[in-house]
């Protein structure tokens, strides 16, 4: 190979070698502060409910395995994620239906919105899920859902699937028998956070998350390796403004209001999900006493030394 004689020849040679000069990049590799990629957005339960109801008529769990409807962030080029690391979905199970057992490396959790009589079985322990409850299905735990009641059961799923996509350790398998053979019914479980317990804990909490709520309680510590969960009670009125390198999804458990993220104002009510991507300044403004579940990938940033947080 001859030696390049000009810059043009040098750059042409780089191209042929699948290399690039650090001083001559098509795209920058380093920048001073986080870029704005994923967009602030809200998905509203009132809009989703009739659609999921219709999916209930048209799509069986036999066919679908999971009747879940994922929230895809509208940022251009995104194919799946709700924010960079997390995906949220609405799921509905009708009376008599079973979502068969499976396991996967993504961690998951659910927040129950409506309907009683549905159980989730995690590694052989069957727990009834009631509105306001939060249930965990950690990495590689077998899990199945069964509706033995009379109500359509609606809930929100949150998973770290986009993190697994990014890092690539994806494994998934169906249970060989459809359901686990040995199942025990339990009321108390390390994977179940009961609404009445959460409410009682909120009553006695003095943690206001630096002015981001009236009171918060953490569910787990962390709930999952990649996810922290905070149940937050908002008083009527505005919170302070917060910015963090972590991503957050807020699920509305009770109440109504709006979240201001930069210039974007997103109004919300019960069952809605608000996406607050990394490093966006945001505050909530509740129009009545409200409760939000904050689902955040903060543990990932903590473990890697990249958590930066500011409260204005």
Residues within the interface to ligand GTQ (CB under 6 A)? 66, 68, 89, 91, 104, 108, 143, 157, 159
Minimal distance, residue 269 CB to ligand GTQ, in Å: 22
Query: Could you tell me which residues are beta bridge partners of residue 92?
Result: 154
Cβ burial of 186 (10 Å; 0-12, 13-18, 19+) is: middle
Q: Which is nearer to ligand GTQ, 81 or 209 (CB)?
A: 81
- Which residue has tokens 């409260």? 311
When the beta carbons of 71 and 274 are compared against ligand GTQ, the nearer one is 71
How near is the Cβ of 177 to ligand GTQ at its closest, in Å?
17
Q: Which is nearer to ligand GTQ, 66 or 116 (CB)?
A: 66
CB of 158 to ligand GTQ, least distance (A): 8
Nearer to ligand GTQ, 12 or 167 (CB): 167
Give burial (CB, 10 Å; 0-12/13-18/19+) of 142. Answer: middle
Evaluated on CA atoms 234, 81, 265, 302, the torsion sign reads positive
Q: Is 5 exposed, middle or buried, given 0-12, 13-18 or 19+ CB atoms closer than 10 A? A: exposed
Q: Nearer to ligand GTQ by C-beta: 157 or 297?
A: 157
CB 242 within 8 A of CB 224: no
Least distance CB 203 / ligand GTQ (angstroms):
31
Find residue 141's DSSP bridge partners.
none
Buried b / exposed e along 248-282 (16+ C-beta atoms within 10 A): bbbbbbbbebbbbbeeeebebbbbbbbbbbbbbeb
Whole-number Å distance between alpha carbons of 298 and 139: 17
Which residue is associated with the tokens 């059961």? 153
Our CB check for ligand GTQ shows the closer of 104 and 280 to be 104
C-beta of 159: minimal distance to ligand GTQ in Å?
Answer: 6
Minimum CB distance to ligand GTQ, residue 41 (Å): 18
């Amino acid at each position: 190979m001859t030696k390049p004689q000009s810059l043009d020849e040098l750059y042409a040679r780089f191209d042929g070698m699948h290399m690039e000069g650090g001083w001559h990049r098509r795209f920058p590799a380093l920048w001073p502060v986080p870029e704005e990629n994923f967009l602030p957005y809200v998905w509203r339960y009132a809009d989703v409910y009739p659609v999921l109801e219709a999916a209930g008529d048209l799509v069986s769990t036999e066919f679908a395995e999971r009747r879940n409807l994922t929230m895809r962030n509208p940022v251009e080029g995104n194919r799946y994620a709700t924010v960079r690391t997390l995906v949220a979905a609405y799921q509905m199970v009708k009376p008599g239906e079973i979502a068969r057992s499976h396991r996967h490396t993504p961690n998951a959790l659910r927040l129950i919105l409506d309907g009683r009589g549905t159980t989730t079985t995690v590694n052989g322990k069957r727990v009834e899920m009631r509105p306001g409850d939060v249930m965990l299905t950690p990495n590689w735990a077998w899990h199945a859902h069964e509706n033995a009641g009379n109500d359509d059961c609606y809930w929100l799923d949150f998973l770290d699937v986009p993190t697994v996509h990014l890092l690539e350790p994806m494994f998934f398998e169906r249970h060989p028998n459809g359901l686990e053979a040995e199942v025990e019914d339990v009321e108390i479980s390390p994977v179940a956070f009961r609404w009445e317990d959460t409410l009682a804990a909120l009553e006695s909490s003095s943690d206001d998350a630096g002015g981001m709520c009236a009171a918060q309680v953490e569910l787990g510590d962390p709930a999952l390796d990649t996810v922290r969960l905070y149940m937050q009670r908002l008083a009527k009125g505005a919170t302070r403004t917060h910015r963090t390198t972590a991503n957050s999804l807020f699920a509305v458990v009770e109440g109504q209001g709006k979240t201001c993220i930069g210039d974007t104002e997103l109004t919300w009510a019960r069952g809605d999900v608000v996406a607050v991507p990394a490093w966006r300044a945001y505050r909530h403004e509740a129009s009545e006493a409200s409760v939000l579940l904050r689902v955040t990938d903060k543990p990932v940033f903590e473990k890697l030394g990249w958590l930066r947080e500011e409260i204005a």
